[in-house]
Amino acid sequence: MVNVLREAGHEVLVCSRPHERGFARLDAELAAYGPDLVVVAYVPLGYAPHTGGVAPAFALWSIGLRRRLRCEAILLAHEASLPAAYLWQNREFKLAALGAAQVGQFAVLVASFDSVLFSNIGTRRVWAQGMPRSAHRLHTIRICSNIPYHSSVDPAAELTAAGYAVPTPTILFFGTGHQSVLFDYVERAFLALLEIEPNAVLVIVGMTAEKLRQLCPSLADLGDRVLALGYVAAPQVSLWLQVAKLVLAPLFEGVSARKGTVMAALQHGQTVVTTRGMQTLEDIAWDEICVLAPFDREAFAAAAVQTFRDPERRSAKGRAARAEYEAHASASVTALRILAYADRGPRA
């Protein structure tokens, strides 16, 4: 988005990791720059990785930000807090207390910015119900992929030149290790795919073989049928997305606009087999751009097999996914929407 804004003639200053540099130094830098608009990307642990996302210094800095700098301010809220009520009901009291503190912190942030842009419509609705007087500040915006498309005449050859073995066919999975990812669904689907295509290899981006063995030893036991790559640079992730035949993304809460890895796959015109869940809402026509399976392991595996066997369906889904992404979630669209909210945002 920064490049898009600069290409459009806007001056952009990027300030990274302010919690490490100090907010006083950040204030001085911003005051010298004199911005018309400050956009703050918020994920709780991003500002307080050692205190569970509770960041008093950041909250205090946000209070009065608009007054100090005489500018508009927008908060991009990819995450807001842990689900305190859910954790309390499940008697996870320490996490519930942490979630309650995060909720209180975020309420302060909502009052401190002209607009708050959520990446998920469900989260926006919850906060609008909880803070009705601030509902006019709360909006949603699609997050763009953090994997820029790396144009390549021969992506497989480029990956080979970079030292990777490129299997055919490749089944791709983003192994973040997040608890929302259903590893048993991935394993069941891949085993079903091996029954119809014994040469298939599951390529896992973002997870080492050691981490995979810790989290899912039975999947690791498949040996050379599973390739865990660990960290992969963004240009090469783009290449893997181009060579893959299928992307598996089973999610506990269902697919939603918050899933950056899914956004990356859509951007690359990939067919994603994923799950419908409580976070799968009507803000996006998911049925048109993904293969949606119910929250059932066997059904997910069956959907993966059916999609693998149907190249025409994969091609149609891929075209629809890329078109939808370019129309609603590309970097240029997202940047322009942020500027639009700045133009109409309240000053209160």
Instruction: Render 324-342 in DSSP notation, one character per residue.
Output: HHHHHTSHHHHHHHHHHHH
Query: What mean pLDDT is predicted for residues 107-112?
Result: 95
One domain for residues 184 and 227: yes
Residue 344, pLDDT > 80, answer: no
Write down the residue that tokens 């950041």 correspond to: 58
- Please say whether the beta carbons of 218 and 225 come within 8 A: no
Please name which of 342, 347, 244 lies closest in space to residue 40, comparing C-alpha atoms.
342
One domain for residues 212 and 92: no
DSSP codes joined into one string, 47-110:
H-TTTTT--HHHHHHHTTHHHHHTSEEEEEES-----HHHHHHTT-HHHHHHHHHHHHHHHHHH
One domain for residues 278 and 162: yes
Q: How confident is the model at residue 178 (pLDDT cuts 50, 70, 90)?
A: low
List, for residues 278-318, the tens digit of each pLDDT value: 889 888 999 999 999 999 999 999 999 999 999 999 999 99
Residue 108, pLDDT > 70, answer: yes
* Alpha helical stretches, state H, 115-154: 121-130
Letter string b/e over residues 29-62, b meaning 16 or more CB atoms within 10 A of that residue's CB: ebeeeebebbbbebebebbbeeebbbbeebbebb
One domain for residues 134 and 176: no
- Please say whether the beta carbons of 194 and 271 come within 8 A: no
One domain for residues 176 and 273: yes
Please tell me whether residue 188 adopts helix, strand or coil conformation: helix
Residue 347, pLDDT > 80, answer: no
Kindly report the average pLDDT of the chain as a whole number.
Answer: 91
Q: Is residue 149 one of the residues assigned to a domain?
A: no
One domain for residues 251 and 197: yes
One domain for residues 339 and 297: no
One domain for residues 123 and 214: no
Please name which of 47, 57, 51 lies closest in space to residue 77, comparing C-alpha atoms.
47
Structure tokens at 110: 């909502």
One domain for residues 59 and 30: yes
Q: What domain range includes position 278?
A: 155-328
Q: How many domains does the chain have?
A: 2
List, for residues 32-46, the tens digit of each pLDDT value: 999 999 999 988 877
Give the least confident one: 152-156, 178-182, 231-235, 293-297: 178-182
Q: Which CATH number characterizes residue 314's domain?
A: 3.40.50.2000
One domain for residues 24 and 127: yes
One domain for residues 250 and 295: yes
3-state helix, strand, coil in the chain (%, to 5): 50, 15, 35
* Alpha helical stretches, state H, 227-276: 234-243, 260-267
One domain for residues 232 and 322: yes
Please tell me the distance from the alpha carbon of residue 222 to that of residue 255, in angstroms, as a whole number. Answer: 27
